[in-house]
Structure 1
Amino acid sequence: MAQEEIATRAPESDAQEDSTVTTEQSTQSTPPIATPATVPSMGDHCTSDRPTPSGALPSGELTTLNNVPVYIAKPADYPHSPSKLLLLLTGGTGLHSPNNQLQADQFASQGYLVVMPDQFDGDPAPNAVDMTKIEETTSWLESVKLRTAEGVKAFMIDMWLARHTPEKVLPLLRKVVEGGREEFADAVANGGGIYGVGYCFGAKYILVLAGEQADADAAQAPRDEEEGPVKREPVLRAGAIAHPTMVSVEDLEAVRAPVFIAAVQDDPLFPDEEVLTPGRRAMEKNGVEHEIQVFSGVPHGFAVLGDYDDPKIKQSQQEAYAQMLAWIREH
Protein backbone atom coordinates (compact mmCIF):
# COMPACT_ATOMS: atom_id res chain seq x y z
CA MET A 1 0.00 0.00 0.00
CA ALA A 2 1.31 3.40 -0.91
CA GLN A 3 2.37 5.54 2.00
CA GLU A 4 -0.09 8.37 2.43
CA GLU A 5 0.04 11.45 4.54
CA ILE A 6 -1.76 10.88 7.82
CA ALA A 7 -5.20 12.48 7.62
CA THR A 8 -6.62 14.80 10.24
CA ARG A 9 -8.02 12.63 13.01
CA ALA A 10 -11.75 12.07 12.96
CA PRO A 11 -13.77 12.51 16.17
CA GLU A 12 -13.89 8.74 16.56
CA SER A 13 -10.11 8.31 16.37
CA ASP A 14 -8.10 7.25 19.38
CA ALA A 15 -6.83 9.76 21.90
CA GLN A 16 -3.24 8.62 21.59
CA GLU A 17 -1.62 12.00 21.43
CA ASP A 18 -1.91 15.06 23.60
CA SER A 19 -4.55 17.50 22.39
CA THR A 20 -3.46 21.03 21.51
CA VAL A 21 -5.21 23.59 23.65
CA THR A 22 -5.72 27.23 22.75
CA THR A 23 -6.71 29.30 25.73
CA GLU A 24 -8.55 32.56 25.97
CA GLN A 25 -6.48 35.69 26.18
CA SER A 26 -6.31 36.72 29.80
CA THR A 27 -4.40 39.11 31.97
CA GLN A 28 -3.69 36.13 34.23
CA SER A 29 -0.97 33.70 33.30
CA THR A 30 -2.11 30.22 32.35
CA PRO A 31 -0.77 27.52 34.64
CA PRO A 32 1.00 24.61 32.97
CA ILE A 33 -1.10 21.58 32.12
CA ALA A 34 0.35 18.23 33.04
CA THR A 35 0.67 15.78 30.18
CA PRO A 36 1.30 12.03 30.30
CA ALA A 37 4.98 11.19 30.40
CA THR A 38 4.63 8.02 28.39
CA VAL A 39 2.68 6.75 25.41
CA PRO A 40 -0.60 5.06 26.47
CA SER A 41 -0.49 1.28 26.38
CA MET A 42 -4.03 1.02 24.99
CA GLY A 43 -6.20 3.29 22.87
CA ASP A 44 -9.80 4.40 23.39
CA HIS A 45 -11.04 1.74 20.98
CA CYS A 46 -10.22 -0.85 23.64
CA THR A 47 -12.23 0.83 26.37
CA SER A 48 -15.43 1.93 24.61
CA ASP A 49 -17.43 0.75 21.64
CA ARG A 50 -17.83 2.79 18.50
CA PRO A 51 -21.39 3.22 17.19
CA THR A 52 -22.97 -0.07 16.15
CA PRO A 53 -23.90 -0.33 12.46
CA SER A 54 -27.51 0.78 12.04
CA GLY A 55 -30.05 -2.03 12.30
CA ALA A 56 -27.44 -4.70 13.01
CA LEU A 57 -28.20 -7.19 15.79
CA PRO A 58 -25.99 -10.08 16.96
CA SER A 59 -27.32 -13.52 16.07
CA GLY A 60 -24.98 -15.79 18.03
CA GLU A 61 -25.29 -17.30 21.50
CA LEU A 62 -23.84 -16.41 24.88
CA THR A 63 -22.96 -19.65 26.66
CA THR A 64 -20.03 -21.39 28.37
CA LEU A 65 -17.29 -23.64 27.04
CA ASN A 66 -15.26 -25.63 29.54
CA ASN A 67 -16.67 -23.31 32.24
CA VAL A 68 -15.51 -20.14 30.48
CA PRO A 69 -18.15 -17.65 29.21
CA VAL A 70 -18.09 -17.45 25.41
CA TYR A 71 -20.02 -16.03 22.49
CA ILE A 72 -20.51 -18.62 19.76
CA ALA A 73 -21.50 -17.75 16.20
CA LYS A 74 -22.24 -20.60 13.82
CA PRO A 75 -22.75 -20.72 10.05
CA ALA A 76 -26.42 -20.88 9.12
CA ASP A 77 -26.09 -24.44 7.75
CA TYR A 78 -23.92 -25.87 10.52
CA PRO A 79 -23.62 -28.81 11.29
CA HIS A 80 -25.13 -30.00 8.02
CA SER A 81 -22.26 -28.42 6.07
CA PRO A 82 -18.59 -28.62 7.12
CA SER A 83 -17.20 -25.69 9.09
CA LYS A 84 -13.84 -24.64 10.53
CA LEU A 85 -13.17 -23.56 14.10
CA LEU A 86 -12.09 -19.95 14.55
CA LEU A 87 -10.97 -18.41 17.85
CA LEU A 88 -11.72 -14.67 17.96
CA LEU A 89 -9.97 -12.55 20.60
CA THR A 90 -11.17 -9.01 21.14
CA GLY A 91 -9.95 -5.70 22.37
CA GLY A 92 -10.74 -4.61 25.90
CA THR A 93 -14.46 -4.09 25.22
CA GLY A 94 -14.77 -7.85 25.48
CA LEU A 95 -17.45 -10.47 25.27
CA HIS A 96 -20.61 -8.36 25.63
CA SER A 97 -19.69 -5.68 23.08
CA PRO A 98 -22.32 -5.70 20.29
CA ASN A 99 -19.64 -4.78 17.76
CA ASN A 100 -17.44 -7.70 18.81
CA GLN A 101 -20.41 -10.05 18.59
CA LEU A 102 -21.25 -8.71 15.15
CA GLN A 103 -17.64 -9.23 14.10
CA ALA A 104 -17.93 -12.87 15.17
CA ASP A 105 -21.18 -13.17 13.19
CA GLN A 106 -19.43 -11.75 10.14
CA PHE A 107 -16.79 -14.50 10.18
CA ALA A 108 -19.51 -17.11 10.85
CA SER A 109 -21.32 -15.98 7.71
CA GLN A 110 -18.21 -17.04 5.79
CA GLY A 111 -18.31 -20.63 7.03
CA TYR A 112 -16.46 -20.45 10.35
CA LEU A 113 -17.70 -21.67 13.69
CA VAL A 114 -16.52 -18.77 15.83
CA VAL A 115 -15.71 -19.02 19.53
CA MET A 116 -15.16 -15.64 21.21
CA PRO A 117 -14.16 -16.13 24.88
CA ASP A 118 -14.36 -13.79 27.83
CA GLN A 119 -10.60 -13.43 28.17
CA PHE A 120 -11.08 -10.84 30.95
CA ASP A 121 -13.01 -13.10 33.35
CA GLY A 122 -15.95 -10.69 33.65
CA ASP A 123 -13.74 -7.61 33.94
CA PRO A 124 -13.67 -5.71 30.61
CA ALA A 125 -11.67 -2.51 30.24
CA PRO A 126 -12.95 0.61 32.02
CA ASN A 127 -15.05 2.88 29.84
CA ALA A 128 -13.13 5.74 28.30
CA VAL A 129 -13.68 9.25 29.63
CA ASP A 130 -15.47 11.31 26.99
CA MET A 131 -12.66 13.57 25.80
CA THR A 132 -14.85 16.02 23.92
CA LYS A 133 -13.03 18.11 21.38
CA ILE A 134 -11.47 21.13 23.06
CA GLU A 135 -12.60 24.28 21.35
CA GLU A 136 -10.51 27.40 21.02
CA THR A 137 -12.70 29.14 23.59
CA THR A 138 -12.06 26.55 26.29
CA SER A 139 -10.85 28.18 29.50
CA TRP A 140 -7.65 27.02 31.12
CA LEU A 141 -9.61 25.66 34.09
CA GLU A 142 -11.79 23.52 31.83
CA SER A 143 -8.65 22.35 30.04
CA VAL A 144 -7.09 21.29 33.31
CA LYS A 145 -10.24 19.33 34.18
CA LEU A 146 -10.18 17.55 30.82
CA ARG A 147 -6.53 16.67 31.14
CA THR A 148 -7.11 15.46 34.67
CA ALA A 149 -9.90 13.20 33.38
CA GLU A 150 -7.55 11.87 30.73
CA GLY A 151 -4.94 11.13 33.40
CA VAL A 152 -7.50 9.31 35.54
CA LYS A 153 -8.56 7.26 32.53
CA ALA A 154 -4.95 6.29 31.80
CA PHE A 155 -4.45 5.30 35.45
CA MET A 156 -7.59 3.14 35.36
CA ILE A 157 -6.41 1.42 32.18
CA ASP A 158 -2.99 0.75 33.70
CA MET A 159 -4.62 -0.76 36.79
CA TRP A 160 -6.88 -2.86 34.57
CA LEU A 161 -3.92 -4.12 32.53
CA ALA A 162 -2.15 -5.08 35.76
CA ARG A 163 -5.09 -7.40 36.46
CA HIS A 164 -4.93 -9.06 33.03
CA THR A 165 -1.48 -10.46 32.55
CA PRO A 166 -0.51 -13.48 30.44
CA GLU A 167 -0.46 -15.52 33.65
CA LYS A 168 -4.20 -14.88 34.02
CA VAL A 169 -5.30 -14.71 30.37
CA LEU A 170 -3.53 -17.73 28.91
CA PRO A 171 -5.04 -20.33 31.28
CA LEU A 172 -8.53 -19.11 30.30
CA LEU A 173 -7.67 -19.36 26.62
CA ARG A 174 -6.21 -22.83 27.02
CA LYS A 175 -9.43 -23.98 28.71
CA VAL A 176 -11.43 -22.61 25.78
CA VAL A 177 -9.13 -24.30 23.26
CA GLU A 178 -9.47 -27.62 25.10
CA GLY A 179 -13.24 -27.22 25.23
CA GLY A 180 -13.42 -26.29 21.56
CA ARG A 181 -11.39 -29.31 20.52
CA GLU A 182 -13.82 -31.56 22.36
CA GLU A 183 -17.13 -29.81 21.67
CA PHE A 184 -16.43 -28.98 18.02
CA ALA A 185 -14.10 -31.80 17.03
CA ASP A 186 -15.76 -31.96 13.60
CA ALA A 187 -14.87 -28.34 12.82
CA VAL A 188 -11.30 -28.79 14.11
CA ALA A 189 -10.86 -31.87 11.94
CA ASN A 190 -12.39 -30.18 8.90
CA GLY A 191 -9.99 -27.25 9.18
CA GLY A 192 -6.97 -29.34 10.09
CA GLY A 193 -6.65 -27.38 13.34
CA ILE A 194 -7.85 -24.17 14.94
CA TYR A 195 -7.62 -20.75 13.31
CA GLY A 196 -7.38 -17.45 15.14
CA VAL A 197 -8.07 -13.76 14.60
CA GLY A 198 -7.36 -11.03 17.13
CA TYR A 199 -7.76 -7.31 17.58
CA CYS A 200 -5.83 -4.95 19.86
CA PHE A 201 -5.37 -6.67 23.26
CA GLY A 202 -6.46 -10.01 21.82
CA ALA A 203 -3.99 -9.78 18.94
CA LYS A 204 -1.05 -10.39 21.28
CA TYR A 205 -2.56 -13.67 22.41
CA ILE A 206 -3.17 -14.85 18.86
CA LEU A 207 0.59 -14.40 18.34
CA VAL A 208 1.30 -16.29 21.57
CA LEU A 209 -0.98 -19.16 20.53
CA ALA A 210 0.74 -19.17 17.13
CA GLY A 211 4.08 -19.63 18.91
CA GLU A 212 6.11 -22.70 19.74
CA GLN A 213 5.61 -22.50 23.51
CA ALA A 214 1.88 -21.77 23.54
CA ASP A 215 0.66 -25.09 24.90
CA ALA A 216 2.28 -24.79 28.31
CA ASP A 217 3.98 -22.36 30.63
CA ALA A 218 7.73 -22.41 30.11
CA ALA A 219 8.31 -23.27 33.75
CA GLN A 220 6.06 -26.33 33.46
CA ALA A 221 7.13 -27.50 30.00
CA PRO A 222 9.05 -30.77 29.64
CA ARG A 223 12.79 -30.19 29.69
CA ASP A 224 15.73 -31.67 27.86
CA GLU A 225 18.78 -31.87 30.14
CA GLU A 226 21.03 -30.29 27.52
CA GLU A 227 18.74 -28.00 25.53
CA GLY A 228 16.27 -26.79 28.17
CA PRO A 229 12.45 -26.67 27.69
CA VAL A 230 11.09 -28.90 24.94
CA LYS A 231 9.41 -26.77 22.31
CA ARG A 232 5.67 -27.23 21.79
CA GLU A 233 3.73 -27.04 18.58
CA PRO A 234 1.61 -23.90 18.01
CA VAL A 235 -2.00 -24.12 19.16
CA LEU A 236 -3.17 -22.38 15.98
CA ARG A 237 -2.92 -23.55 12.41
CA ALA A 238 -2.82 -19.91 11.25
CA GLY A 239 -3.62 -16.49 12.65
CA ALA A 240 -4.54 -12.99 11.51
CA ILE A 241 -4.36 -9.89 13.69
CA ALA A 242 -5.07 -6.17 13.49
CA HIS A 243 -3.29 -3.29 15.27
CA PRO A 244 -1.96 -5.29 18.23
CA THR A 245 -1.08 -3.77 21.60
CA MET A 246 1.30 -4.96 24.34
CA VAL A 247 3.25 -7.05 21.79
CA SER A 248 6.96 -7.65 22.35
CA VAL A 249 9.68 -8.63 19.91
CA GLU A 250 9.88 -11.91 21.80
CA ASP A 251 6.24 -12.63 20.94
CA LEU A 252 7.05 -12.32 17.24
CA GLU A 253 10.32 -14.26 17.55
CA ALA A 254 8.39 -17.23 18.96
CA VAL A 255 5.76 -17.33 16.18
CA ARG A 256 5.81 -20.50 14.08
CA ALA A 257 2.34 -20.66 12.49
CA PRO A 258 1.55 -18.48 9.44
CA VAL A 259 0.38 -15.00 10.50
CA PHE A 260 -1.07 -11.91 8.85
CA ILE A 261 -0.65 -8.52 10.53
CA ALA A 262 -2.71 -5.42 9.71
CA ALA A 263 -0.71 -2.57 11.22
CA VAL A 264 -1.15 1.20 11.39
CA GLN A 265 1.51 3.53 10.10
CA ASP A 266 3.38 5.34 12.88
CA ASP A 267 1.44 3.49 15.58
CA PRO A 268 2.87 4.23 19.06
CA LEU A 269 1.05 1.18 20.42
CA PHE A 270 2.82 -1.11 17.93
CA PRO A 271 6.02 0.79 17.09
CA ASP A 272 7.81 -0.04 13.87
CA GLU A 273 11.46 0.35 14.82
CA GLU A 274 11.15 -1.17 18.29
CA VAL A 275 8.78 -4.08 17.58
CA LEU A 276 7.43 -4.55 14.05
CA THR A 277 10.66 -4.38 12.04
CA PRO A 278 12.77 -6.60 14.34
CA GLY A 279 9.80 -8.94 14.62
CA ARG A 280 9.54 -9.16 10.84
CA ARG A 281 13.24 -9.93 10.58
CA ALA A 282 12.91 -12.67 13.18
CA MET A 283 10.04 -14.31 11.30
CA GLU A 284 12.05 -14.14 8.08
CA LYS A 285 15.05 -15.70 9.80
CA ASN A 286 12.87 -18.46 11.27
CA GLY A 287 11.21 -19.20 7.94
CA VAL A 288 7.74 -18.30 9.23
CA GLU A 289 5.18 -17.55 6.55
CA HIS A 290 3.82 -14.07 7.19
CA GLU A 291 2.35 -10.97 5.57
CA ILE A 292 2.28 -7.45 6.96
CA GLN A 293 -0.03 -4.77 5.58
CA VAL A 294 0.47 -1.22 6.84
CA PHE A 295 -2.55 1.10 6.69
CA SER A 296 -1.99 4.84 6.61
CA GLY A 297 -4.39 7.68 7.33
CA VAL A 298 -6.35 5.71 9.94
CA PRO A 299 -6.20 5.57 13.75
CA HIS A 300 -5.14 2.61 15.84
CA GLY A 301 -8.26 0.48 16.26
CA PHE A 302 -9.65 1.18 12.79
CA ALA A 303 -10.33 -2.50 12.05
CA VAL A 304 -12.66 -3.00 15.02
CA LEU A 305 -16.18 -3.27 13.66
CA GLY A 306 -18.24 -0.11 14.05
CA ASP A 307 -20.12 2.58 12.16
CA TYR A 308 -17.67 5.38 11.38
CA ASP A 309 -18.39 8.71 9.70
CA ASP A 310 -14.93 8.85 8.13
CA PRO A 311 -15.06 7.09 4.72
CA LYS A 312 -11.31 6.37 4.92
CA ILE A 313 -11.80 4.37 8.11
CA LYS A 314 -14.82 2.55 6.66
CA GLN A 315 -12.88 1.53 3.56
CA SER A 316 -9.78 0.45 5.49
CA GLN A 317 -11.91 -1.51 7.96
CA GLN A 318 -13.46 -3.46 5.10
CA GLU A 319 -10.06 -4.03 3.47
CA ALA A 320 -8.52 -5.31 6.70
CA TYR A 321 -11.41 -7.73 7.28
CA ALA A 322 -11.18 -9.03 3.70
CA GLN A 323 -7.42 -9.56 4.00
CA MET A 324 -7.68 -11.32 7.36
CA LEU A 325 -10.44 -13.56 6.03
CA ALA A 326 -8.45 -14.36 2.88
CA TRP A 327 -5.39 -15.29 4.95
CA ILE A 328 -7.12 -17.84 7.13
CA ARG A 329 -8.96 -19.24 4.10
CA GLU A 330 -5.67 -19.79 2.31
CA HIS A 331 -4.14 -21.64 5.25
Structure 2
Amino acid sequence: MSLCKHCVSGVTHDGTPEGKWEKINGVETYIATPTVEYPKDKVLLFLPDVFGPQLPNAQLLADDYARNGFKTIVIDYFEGDPIPPEALNPGSNFDFMAWLPHHSAAQVRPLIDKVIAALKEEGVTTFAAVGYCFGGRYVFDLGFDNVIKVAATSHPSLLKIPDDLEKYLATSQAPLLINSCTIDPQFPLEASAKADEILGDGKFAPGYKREYFEGCTHGFAVRGDLSDPKVKAGKEGAFKATVEWFLEYL
Protein backbone atom coordinates (compact mmCIF):
# COMPACT_ATOMS: atom_id res chain seq x y z
CA MET A 1 0.00 0.00 0.00
CA SER A 2 1.15 3.53 -0.64
CA LEU A 3 -0.05 7.06 -0.18
CA CYS A 4 0.80 10.30 -1.97
CA LYS A 5 2.17 13.62 -0.75
CA HIS A 6 -1.32 15.09 -0.87
CA CYS A 7 -2.44 12.56 1.75
CA VAL A 8 -0.43 14.50 4.32
CA SER A 9 -0.94 18.05 3.14
CA GLY A 10 -3.62 20.63 3.79
CA VAL A 11 -4.74 22.97 6.54
CA THR A 12 -6.38 22.72 9.94
CA HIS A 13 -9.80 24.34 9.98
CA ASP A 14 -11.07 26.76 12.60
CA GLY A 15 -13.99 25.99 14.86
CA THR A 16 -14.97 24.51 18.19
CA PRO A 17 -15.94 20.82 18.09
CA GLU A 18 -19.20 20.06 19.86
CA GLY A 19 -19.12 16.27 20.06
CA LYS A 20 -17.78 13.99 22.76
CA TRP A 21 -15.20 11.23 23.06
CA GLU A 22 -16.44 7.82 24.10
CA LYS A 23 -15.14 4.27 23.96
CA ILE A 24 -17.37 1.84 22.11
CA ASN A 25 -16.44 -1.79 22.72
CA GLY A 26 -12.97 -0.62 23.76
CA VAL A 27 -12.46 1.55 20.66
CA GLU A 28 -12.07 5.31 21.06
CA THR A 29 -14.59 7.29 19.01
CA TYR A 30 -15.67 10.87 18.51
CA ILE A 31 -19.47 11.06 18.58
CA ALA A 32 -21.53 13.90 17.15
CA THR A 33 -25.21 13.67 18.08
CA PRO A 34 -28.02 15.72 16.51
CA THR A 35 -29.71 18.21 18.81
CA VAL A 36 -33.04 17.52 17.10
CA GLU A 37 -35.03 14.30 17.02
CA TYR A 38 -33.29 11.65 14.91
CA PRO A 39 -33.73 7.92 14.17
CA LYS A 40 -31.97 6.01 16.95
CA ASP A 41 -31.61 2.89 14.82
CA LYS A 42 -29.41 4.62 12.21
CA VAL A 43 -25.75 5.66 12.46
CA LEU A 44 -23.32 7.33 10.08
CA LEU A 45 -19.84 5.85 10.34
CA PHE A 46 -17.23 8.50 9.57
CA LEU A 47 -14.03 6.81 8.44
CA PRO A 48 -11.27 9.41 8.68
CA ASP A 49 -8.09 10.09 6.80
CA VAL A 50 -4.63 9.37 8.21
CA PHE A 51 -4.97 12.21 10.74
CA GLY A 52 -7.76 10.32 12.50
CA PRO A 53 -10.61 11.76 14.53
CA GLN A 54 -8.10 13.81 16.51
CA LEU A 55 -7.79 16.36 13.69
CA PRO A 56 -10.27 19.20 14.35
CA ASN A 57 -11.32 19.11 10.68
CA ALA A 58 -12.79 15.63 11.10
CA GLN A 59 -14.58 16.58 14.30
CA LEU A 60 -16.07 19.70 12.72
CA LEU A 61 -17.26 17.71 9.70
CA ALA A 62 -18.86 15.13 12.00
CA ASP A 63 -20.62 17.94 13.85
CA ASP A 64 -21.92 19.23 10.51
CA TYR A 65 -23.34 15.81 9.66
CA ALA A 66 -25.04 15.75 13.07
CA ARG A 67 -26.60 19.14 12.34
CA ASN A 68 -28.16 17.52 9.30
CA GLY A 69 -29.80 14.83 11.42
CA PHE A 70 -27.25 11.99 11.35
CA LYS A 71 -25.75 10.57 14.52
CA THR A 72 -22.13 10.40 13.43
CA ILE A 73 -19.36 8.26 14.88
CA VAL A 74 -15.73 8.85 13.91
CA ILE A 75 -13.72 5.72 14.62
CA ASP A 76 -10.15 5.98 15.90
CA TYR A 77 -8.92 2.94 14.01
CA PHE A 78 -5.34 4.12 14.50
CA GLU A 79 -5.65 3.48 18.25
CA GLY A 80 -4.26 6.85 19.26
CA ASP A 81 -1.51 6.78 16.65
CA PRO A 82 -2.74 8.97 13.78
CA ILE A 83 -0.34 11.04 11.75
CA PRO A 84 0.12 14.15 13.93
CA PRO A 85 -1.31 17.45 12.66
CA GLU A 86 2.22 18.88 12.76
CA ALA A 87 2.87 16.80 9.63
CA LEU A 88 0.78 19.38 7.78
CA ASN A 89 3.35 22.07 8.55
CA PRO A 90 5.65 23.15 5.72
CA GLY A 91 8.98 21.39 5.97
CA SER A 92 7.66 18.49 8.05
CA ASN A 93 9.75 15.35 7.65
CA PHE A 94 7.19 12.92 9.05
CA ASP A 95 7.78 9.52 7.47
CA PHE A 96 4.25 8.43 6.65
CA MET A 97 5.44 5.48 4.58
CA ALA A 98 7.07 4.08 7.73
CA TRP A 99 3.83 4.74 9.65
CA LEU A 100 1.48 3.08 7.17
CA PRO A 101 2.43 -0.61 7.64
CA HIS A 102 1.43 -0.37 11.30
CA HIS A 103 -2.13 0.44 10.22
CA SER A 104 -2.99 -2.16 7.63
CA ALA A 105 -6.39 -3.76 7.05
CA ALA A 106 -5.45 -6.47 9.55
CA GLN A 107 -5.32 -3.84 12.29
CA VAL A 108 -7.97 -1.41 11.06
CA ARG A 109 -10.94 -3.51 9.96
CA PRO A 110 -11.35 -5.43 13.25
CA LEU A 111 -11.71 -2.11 15.11
CA ILE A 112 -14.45 -0.98 12.73
CA ASP A 113 -16.19 -4.33 13.18
CA LYS A 114 -15.98 -4.04 16.98
CA VAL A 115 -17.73 -0.67 16.90
CA ILE A 116 -20.42 -1.93 14.54
CA ALA A 117 -21.04 -5.03 16.67
CA ALA A 118 -21.49 -2.95 19.81
CA LEU A 119 -23.82 -0.50 18.09
CA LYS A 120 -25.95 -3.39 16.84
CA GLU A 121 -26.28 -4.60 20.42
CA GLU A 122 -27.53 -1.12 21.31
CA GLY A 123 -30.28 -1.38 18.69
CA VAL A 124 -28.68 0.20 15.64
CA THR A 125 -29.88 -1.66 12.55
CA THR A 126 -28.83 0.59 9.67
CA PHE A 127 -25.39 2.00 8.88
CA ALA A 128 -24.14 4.49 6.35
CA ALA A 129 -20.45 5.19 5.84
CA VAL A 130 -18.51 8.17 4.58
CA GLY A 131 -14.77 7.84 4.07
CA TYR A 132 -12.11 10.41 3.36
CA CYS A 133 -8.82 9.41 1.71
CA PHE A 134 -7.62 6.41 3.79
CA GLY A 135 -11.20 5.88 4.98
CA GLY A 136 -12.43 5.44 1.43
CA ARG A 137 -10.71 2.07 1.27
CA TYR A 138 -12.89 0.83 4.13
CA VAL A 139 -16.10 2.27 2.70
CA PHE A 140 -15.52 -0.03 -0.25
CA ASP A 141 -14.72 -2.97 2.01
CA LEU A 142 -17.87 -2.44 4.09
CA GLY A 143 -19.80 -2.15 0.84
CA PHE A 144 -18.37 -5.43 -0.41
CA ASP A 145 -19.65 -7.14 2.73
CA ASN A 146 -23.00 -5.28 2.66
CA VAL A 147 -22.50 -4.10 6.21
CA ILE A 148 -23.69 -0.64 5.16
CA LYS A 149 -26.88 0.49 3.47
CA VAL A 150 -25.36 3.47 1.67
CA ALA A 151 -21.79 4.57 0.90
CA ALA A 152 -20.00 7.82 0.13
CA THR A 153 -16.36 8.71 -0.23
CA SER A 154 -14.29 11.75 -1.08
CA HIS A 155 -10.94 11.29 -2.84
CA PRO A 156 -10.54 7.62 -1.76
CA SER A 157 -7.07 6.15 -1.27
CA LEU A 158 -5.57 2.67 -1.51
CA LEU A 159 -8.06 1.33 -4.05
CA LYS A 160 -7.14 -1.10 -6.81
CA ILE A 161 -8.57 0.17 -10.08
CA PRO A 162 -10.44 -1.38 -11.83
CA ASP A 163 -10.55 -4.44 -9.52
CA ASP A 164 -12.33 -2.77 -6.60
CA LEU A 165 -14.86 -1.09 -8.87
CA GLU A 166 -15.67 -4.39 -10.54
CA LYS A 167 -15.95 -6.11 -7.16
CA TYR A 168 -18.27 -3.36 -5.92
CA LEU A 169 -20.48 -3.89 -8.95
CA ALA A 170 -20.54 -7.64 -8.40
CA THR A 171 -21.03 -7.81 -4.63
CA SER A 172 -22.41 -4.60 -3.09
CA GLN A 173 -25.98 -3.45 -2.67
CA ALA A 174 -25.03 -0.07 -1.17
CA PRO A 175 -25.60 2.99 -3.39
CA LEU A 176 -22.24 4.69 -3.92
CA LEU A 177 -21.29 8.37 -4.19
CA ILE A 178 -17.73 9.34 -5.12
CA ASN A 179 -16.56 12.95 -4.76
CA SER A 180 -13.59 13.35 -7.10
CA CYS A 181 -11.30 16.20 -8.10
CA THR A 182 -8.77 17.41 -10.64
CA ILE A 183 -5.44 16.52 -9.01
CA ASP A 184 -5.55 13.19 -7.22
CA PRO A 185 -2.74 10.63 -7.54
CA GLN A 186 -4.79 8.21 -5.42
CA PHE A 187 -7.96 8.46 -7.53
CA PRO A 188 -6.85 10.13 -10.77
CA LEU A 189 -9.04 11.21 -13.65
CA GLU A 190 -8.50 7.82 -15.27
CA ALA A 191 -9.98 6.14 -12.18
CA SER A 192 -12.97 8.50 -12.31
CA ALA A 193 -13.56 7.59 -15.93
CA LYS A 194 -13.26 3.89 -15.12
CA ALA A 195 -15.74 4.23 -12.24
CA ASP A 196 -18.26 5.85 -14.57
CA GLU A 197 -17.65 3.15 -17.17
CA ILE A 198 -18.14 0.28 -14.71
CA LEU A 199 -20.85 1.67 -12.42
CA GLY A 200 -22.50 4.49 -14.36
CA ASP A 201 -25.43 4.65 -16.79
CA GLY A 202 -27.51 2.38 -14.57
CA LYS A 203 -25.04 -0.50 -14.59
CA PHE A 204 -24.94 -0.48 -10.78
CA ALA A 205 -28.62 -0.88 -10.01
CA PRO A 206 -28.61 0.23 -6.33
CA GLY A 207 -27.38 3.68 -7.36
CA TYR A 208 -24.14 5.41 -8.38
CA LYS A 209 -23.12 9.03 -8.67
CA ARG A 210 -19.81 10.78 -9.09
CA GLU A 211 -19.34 14.46 -8.37
CA TYR A 212 -16.33 16.29 -9.79
CA PHE A 213 -14.77 19.40 -8.28
CA GLU A 214 -12.64 21.37 -10.71
CA GLY A 215 -9.41 22.87 -9.46
CA CYS A 216 -9.32 20.81 -6.26
CA THR A 217 -6.61 18.47 -5.00
CA HIS A 218 -6.72 15.17 -3.08
CA GLY A 219 -7.78 15.95 0.49
CA PHE A 220 -9.88 18.98 -0.46
CA ALA A 221 -13.06 17.75 1.21
CA VAL A 222 -11.49 17.51 4.67
CA ARG A 223 -8.18 19.42 4.65
CA GLY A 224 -8.61 21.94 1.85
CA ASP A 225 -7.37 25.53 2.11
CA LEU A 226 -10.65 27.41 2.51
CA SER A 227 -9.03 30.70 1.53
CA ASP A 228 -9.00 29.34 -2.03
CA PRO A 229 -12.50 29.93 -3.48
CA LYS A 230 -12.39 26.79 -5.66
CA VAL A 231 -11.34 24.62 -2.73
CA LYS A 232 -13.94 26.16 -0.43
CA ALA A 233 -16.62 25.52 -3.05
CA GLY A 234 -15.33 21.97 -3.48
CA LYS A 235 -15.37 21.17 0.22
CA GLU A 236 -18.85 22.60 0.66
CA GLY A 237 -20.05 20.93 -2.53
CA ALA A 238 -18.76 17.51 -1.51
CA PHE A 239 -20.39 17.83 1.91
CA LYS A 240 -23.71 18.93 0.38
CA ALA A 241 -23.63 16.08 -2.15
CA THR A 242 -22.92 13.56 0.61
CA VAL A 243 -25.73 14.82 2.85
CA GLU A 244 -28.18 14.70 -0.05
CA TRP A 245 -27.02 11.17 -0.93
CA PHE A 246 -27.65 9.96 2.61
CA LEU A 247 -31.01 11.70 2.81
CA GLU A 248 -32.05 9.95 -0.39
CA TYR A 249 -30.91 6.43 0.51
CA LEU A 250 -30.53 6.09 4.28
TM-score bracket relative to the smaller structure: 0.7 to 0.9
Q: Distance in 2 between matches of 1:305 and 1:64?
A: 26
> Among the aligned pairs, what percent are the same residue?
34
Question: What stretches of structure 2 of length at least 5 have no aligned partner?
Answer: none
Q: Give TM-score scaled by structure 1 length.
A: 0.67
Q: Distance in 1 between matches of 2:105 and 2:229?
A: 36
Larger deviation, residues 300-309 vs 97-106: 300-309
* C-alpha RMSD of matched pairs (Å): 2.2
Give the 5 Å matches for 1:12-91. 41-44=3-6, 46-47=7-8, 50-53=11-14, 56-78=15-37, 81-83=38-40, 84-91=42-49
For the Cα contact (< 8 Å) 1:43–1:300, is it kept in 2?
no
CA 1:306–1:299 in 2, change beyond 3 Å: closer, same or farther? closer
Q: Give TM-score scaled by structure 2 length.
A: 0.87
**Higher share in strand:** 2
Hey, what does 1:145 align to over in structure 2? none
For the Cα contact (< 8 Å) 1:49–1:97, is it kept in 2?
no
Question: What stretches of structure 1 of length at least 5 have no aligned partner?
Answer: 1-39, 133-148, 215-233
In the alignment, is residue 254 of structure 1 matched against residue 213 of structure 2?
no
Hey, what does 2:182 align to over in structure 1? 265
* Aligned positions, number: 239
Hey, what does 2:128 align to over in structure 1? 195
**Higher share in helix:** 2
Letter in 1 for 2:11: R
Hey, what does 1:300 align to over in structure 2? 218
For the Cα contact (< 8 Å) 1:49–1:99, is it kept in 2?
no
Hey, what does 2:154 align to over in structure 1? 242
Hey, what does 2:246 align to over in structure 1? 328
In the alignment, is residue 282 of structure 1 matched against residue 195 of structure 2?
no
For the Cα contact (< 8 Å) 1:102–1:305, is it kept in 2?
no
Hey, what does 2:236 align to over in structure 1? 318
Larger radius of gyration: 1
Give the 5 Å matches for 1:115-154. 115-126=73-84, 127-128=86-87, 130-131=89-90, 152-153=93-94
CA 1:252–1:87 in 2, change beyond 3 Å: closer, same or farther? same
| Cα offsets for 1:140-177 (capped at 9, x unmatched) | xxxxxxxxx7xx54xx1111111111111111111111
- Cα offset for 1:76? 0.8
